[in-house]
Chain A
Amino acid sequence: MVSITIDGIKASVPDGSTILQAARSVGVAIPTLCYHPDQSIKANCRICVCEVEGNRLLQAACSQPVAEGMVIKTRSPKVLEARKTILELILANHPQDCLNCIRNGNCELQDLAMEYCIRENPFEFKVRGYKKDFSTPSLFRDQDKCIMCRRCIEACSVIQSVHALGVENRGHHAMVVPTLGMDLIDSPCIMCGQCIHACPVGAIGEVEYIEDFLKAVADPDKIVVTQIAPSVRVAIAEEIGMSTGEMPMETFVTGLRQIGFDYVLHTNFTADLTIVEEGNELLKRLSTGGTLPMFTSCSPGWVNFCETFYPDLLDNLSTCKSPQQMFGALAKTYWAEKMGVDPSKVYSVSIMPCVAKKFEAQRPEMNASGYQDVDVVLTTREIGRLFRMSGLDFTKLPPSNFDSWMGAYSGAAVIFGASGGVMEAALRTVYEVATGKTLEDVNFTATRGITGIKDAEVDLDGTKVKVAIANGLANARKLMNQVRAGESPYHFIEIMACPGGCIGGGGQPITKANAKRVERIEAIYVEDENLPVRKSHDNPEVKALYDEFLHEPLGHKSHELLHTHYHDNQKKYL
């Protein structure tokens, strides 16, 4: 421990702490921009400068370690003046666009401009004038707003190992660009949206489809149906000022009806269905010498990654569509038929934690129903905006239930939202299908948690099945390289593109630290515990679906509607 003084407060802090860490530990706030709690120290923005007695130059608090006896001033006039100048310099070429900006109200730069009372900027105002990149259906880039903190680059390269972003030029002309200065769609970007979370400002954001949705609601001919992904409920609360997990499902459902949905259904229903199909696919591969290990296929960012970086392993990917797309295919066939409505009038909206889902919905092969199966994908953040736009008070809304048919679900579906959840859900089903016995304890805790790579072994009445789970694509890459080298000991591998799984998806409320992801994971398992049905194959509506429509897992109808194929999408430049 070292003894230091910060703004007159005497403190004893661990050796090697930075000034920033030391200050925060005694409740002194220091502003930051390039600093990110889960990333390496970049120290390129200088907004965190402080005075250290005996030093003529101001020190960057995020990178400067404390030393014995150090006397630090974080709010002296000299410090405040310097920070203000730094802000003014940043703002001198930053578009004055807050009112139209996707991060209005949730922007680290805007907050600082407010805190430091930026009024008239003495520096000449000149926006750099880049063109916005709207080349992907998932996320856009607005380089003029970039403050060059490089947090997105680290997310993309270190967490995802995609390396779609880098710096072009240097000094004043330096800019973050996709590979070779191309549009994002031509780079290896897999559309996970993790760079959106990393970005402190509105330089990267999701492509919004709010207008399309409102237009459909206004159209009396359209039957607007929604599905909600498992991880959305735990996080939506954060968008409307409640704490994580606090929004009761029944209130959420009422809220969705209020903003215009005619039918509120659940992706969890098709998550259960996915498990039945995928579990049977695994058993079939195991018994018939099919390609192993089998990879899960419900994370579209991961599917993009596999198509881009491991096209040689596409046969390992489960042919099951993601729950979103299974739902889409069924909504305009089975559901429309059951409800006696014209499928051409069904407008299918999915509410997802994910921006890659926007791309997935627009894949040309996702039209098994004869229409585009899912018309529009809205992220958790967009739903948050719609809620705020409608002025709903969630403390006063009465509860309501999901509509029947494709609204019922088990706890196994809920845990799809967390890394390891698909695996656990599959094991609950596979065990019972393979052994014919009842699984007494449904909790496979080895598969849980935010750890990058987890593995476990399950005994199916003598047959040992080895499974592995990865979240974050840099972790997935390690497992993939093993498979490519023919050295993988596993039979079944679950991969989620985003850290922590869907709860940390690119469309979730802006997540400034991994600690938030851990909180959401906890909320997911609480929900699972509290449900009466916890195994996918016990979902009564799924049973009915097989009885009335699909007849058997992996059967003819399933193949037509619920399974897909993949494409080699190796980019010329990776």
Chain B
Amino acid sequence: MSYKEIIAKYADKPGGIIEAYHAIQREMSYLPIEAVGETAEVFKVPVSQAYGVATFYSMFSVKARGKNIIRLCESAPCHVAGAEEVLAALEKELGIKVGESTADGKFALELSECVGQCQATPVLTVNGKPYFEVSPAKLTGILAEYK
């Protein structure tokens, strides 16, 4: 589905902008600037406002990024449980730093705040799906699911 079709689907819903953004990201993993412009037009808000929404929430990105978005929790409980080692391993495994995407366009690596799963730290999510008690050793298996 093109972003235009997606936006049109949410046009009449109150608060539809955020839902439309989520739907676009499911399709293309980020919000192209054109999609933000189109959203403004369809929802009849100034582009500056639609852009404000797109950049306010950390789960949205207006920059092109890898298809599968890995987000490692960096809040205190996960941090204490060893998120840092997981991060180092992720960066090594993917060959990129936080905020970057792999050259093949498959993965983007980001950090997130607490995702509310502190019972099983460290936590990371891939495209919103959580993985618990992650360790460097588990990474190859997790990534393989998306290759």
Chain A positions within 8 Å of B, measured between CB atoms, are 157, 163-170, 177-181, 187, 572-574
Contact = CB atoms under 8 A, between A and B. Distances in A.
A572 B48 contact: no
Contacts, number: 48
Contacts of B40: 573-574
Interface residues of B, number: 13
Given A167-B52, A573-B40, 18 more contacts: A157-B48, A163-B46, A163-B47, A166-B52, A167-B55, A168-B51, A168-B52, A170-B55, A177-B51, A179-B46, A180-B33, A180-B36, A180-B47, A180-B62, A187-B48, A573-B37, A573-B47, A574-B40
Interface in B24-67: 33, 36-37, 40, 46-49, 51-52, 55-56, 62
B47 A574 contact: yes
Nearest to B38: A573
B36 to A, nearest CB: 7
A168 B35 CA distance: 16
The 6 closest A-B pairs by CB, nearest first: A166-B48, A163-B46, A573-B47, A168-B55, A573-B37, A166-B52
Contacts of A167: 52, 55-56
B37 A180 contact: yes
Nearest to A166: B48
- Give the secondary structure class of B's interface: helix
A170 B56 CA distance: 5
B56 A166 contact: no
Interface centre among A157, A163, A166, A573 (most CB of B within 10 A): A573
B51 A179 contact: yes
Contacts of B36: 180
B82 to A, nearest CB: 26
A179 B48 contact: yes
Given A157-B46, A574-B46, A166 B37 contact: no
B51 A163 contact: no
25 contacts: A157-B48, A163-B48, A164-B48, A166-B46, A166-B48, A166-B51, A166-B52, A167-B52, A167-B55, A168-B51, A168-B52, A169-B55, A170-B55, A170-B56, A179-B46, A179-B47, A179-B48, A179-B51, A180-B47, A180-B51, A181-B51, A181-B55, A573-B37, A573-B47, A574-B46
Nearest to A161: B46
B11 to A, nearest CB: 18
A481 to B, nearest CB: 14
A572 B55 contact: no
A180 B38 CA distance: 12
A381 B62 CA distance: 39
A391 to B, nearest CB: 44
A573 B49 CA distance: 12
Nearest to B46: A163
A527 to B, nearest CB: 39
Contacts of B47: 163, 179-180, 573-574
A45 to B, nearest CB: 19
Contacts of B52: 166-168
A179 B47 CA distance: 6
Contacts of A177: 51
Contacts of A170: 55-56
A168 B55 CA distance: 6
Contacts of A180: 33, 36-37, 47-48, 51, 62
A169 B55 CA distance: 5
A308 to B, nearest CB: 13
Nearest to A574: B47
A317 to B, nearest CB: 24
B57 to A, nearest CB: 8
B56 to A, nearest CB: 5
B49 A166 contact: yes
B85 to A, nearest CB: 26
A174 B99 CA distance: 18
A187 B40 CA distance: 14
Contacts of A168: 51-52, 55
A168 B49 CA distance: 9
A572 B36 CA distance: 12
A177 B52 CA distance: 9
Nearest to A170: B56
A509 to B, nearest CB: 28
Nearest to B47: A573
Contacts of B55: 167-170, 181
Interface centre among B49, B55, B56 (most CB of A within 10 A): B55
B49 to A, nearest CB: 6
Nearest to A165: B48
A180 B37 CA distance: 9
A210 to B, nearest CB: 32
Contacts of B49: 163, 166
A166 to B, nearest CB: 3
Interface centre among B33, B37, B46, B48 (most CB of A within 10 A): B48
A163 B47 CA distance: 8
Interface centre among A157, A181, A187 (most CB of B within 10 A): A181
A196 B29 CA distance: 38
B18 to A, nearest CB: 14
Contacts of B62: 180-181
